[in-house]
Amino acid sequence: MGTFNHYVIVKFKDGAVVDELIQGLEKMVSRIDHVKSFEWGKDIESHDMLRQGFIHVFLMAFNGKEEFNAFQTHPNHLEFTEVFSPAIEKIVVLDFPSNLVKAPA
């Protein structure tokens, strides 16, 4: 069974307190054992035209789709969604099994 990824690209609304949202997200994933790994970043290189307002990206990895499904319905995730969702102007979500071509060194 391979890794299943949850990839989220976000443009937050003006006035959203992004640092607090990210801290809440980090806290939430640390309390849910189904999350194998979590990483996030903020674009600092792309041209505005290419990123189309999206500058934050979040990636969670799971040990298979079953673990991802359990995360989706976990009470901590559902509670956090109520805070996170209203702060989003635009979002792209991709959920996919991973096809590893080159492993980290």
For every residue of 72-104, DSSP letters joined together read HT-HHHHHHHHHHGGGEEEEEEEEEE---SS--
Give, to the nearest 10 degrees, the angle between helix 75-84 and helix 18-30. 170
Strand 4-12 relative to strand 56-62: parallel, antiparallel, unpaired? antiparallel
Does any domain span residue 104? no
Per-residue pLDDT tens digits for 41-61: 999 988 888 889 899 999 999
Per residue in 63-87, pLDDT tens? Answer: 999 999 999 999 999 999 999 999 9
Identify the domain containing residue 76 by its residue range.
Answer: 4-97
In a domain, 86, yes or no: yes
CATH code: domain of residue 17: 3.30.70.100
27: in domain: yes
pTM for the full predicted model? 0.91
Residue 77 lies in a domain: yes
| Number of domain units in the chain | 1
Q: Which has the closest alpha carbon to 28: 90, 69, 82, 66?
A: 82
